[in-house]
Homo-oligomer: A and B are copies of this chain.
Amino acid sequence: MKTQRIAPRSGVAFELSKGQALTVIDPQGTQVADLLAYSRGDVREVISNGRTFDYEETIALTTGNRLWSNRSNPLLAIEEDTVGRHDFLLTPCSEATFRRFYPDKAVHPGCFGNLAQALGPWGIEPDAIPCAFNVFMNVPVAPDGSLRVDPPTSRPGDFIRLRALADLVIGLTACSAYASNGGSFKPIDYRIE
């Protein structure tokens, strides 16, 4: 397929079959894409940050790591990654996080609302949206455990390629939050092969 574009501050969902590769591209640099993956056969199975941290024994996921489900199955394998800096600690930005972190800005459905809307046709409810794998999101953890959300280090054309290890439903956004993309809302591109 040809490369698809996700407009700034929006999200999409689509099916990815076992063996297919999904490439997520940052076309302009310094942008985040929240990624969710559900098992198509039973959407109660979904990627889990905790199971992934447990099995991969790291919170810094890159080439060679896999994303595991709440049922302890690997759903996606990271095959290539030109950035090496992603986040799996934080939940998608939402109306509530906008109210909290940007009280002077207009409230936006955020990646959470965009994912909920895009995934609805597969019977996935908002409460079934866990922590997303936040592609290109740059969240340094200090030695004392404190977190910071810094602008992504991705440059124009940087990408990550993930291989489906099961038949999946994917949710994917161009992030809506100010902090995660340095205050500039940009598109995200993706390609299925």
Nearest-neighbor residue (CB-CB) of A52 within chain B = B91
| Cα distance A57–B57 in the bound complex, in angstroms | 22
State in angstroms the CA–CA spacing of A90 and B59 once bound together.
10
Q: Are B59 and A89 in contact (CB under 8 A)?
A: yes
Q: Which residue of B lies closest to A73 (CB)?
A: B96
What is the total number of copies of this protein in its complex? Answer: 2
Interface extent on A, as a size class?
35 or more
How many whole Å from A40's CB to the nearest CB in chain B?
A: 15
Q: Mark A124-159, 1 if CB is under 8 A from B, else 0.
A: 010101110000000001011111100000000000
The interface residues of chain B lying within 8 Å CB-to-CB of A189 are none
Tell me the complex Cα distance, A57–B71, Å: 28
Q: Which residues of B contact A55 (CB under 8 A)?
A: 100
19 contacts between A and B (CB under 8 A): A48-B91, A49-B131, A50-B89, A50-B91, A53-B147, A54-B91, A55-B100, A57-B147, A58-B146, A59-B89, A59-B141, A59-B147, A60-B145, A60-B146, A70-B127, A71-B96, A72-B94, A72-B100, A141-B145
Q: Which residues of B contact A53 (CB under 8 A)?
A: 89-90, 147
Q: Give every chain B residue within 8 A of A94 (Cβ-Cβ).
A: 72
Chain B residues with Cβ below 8 Å from A48 are 91, 130-131
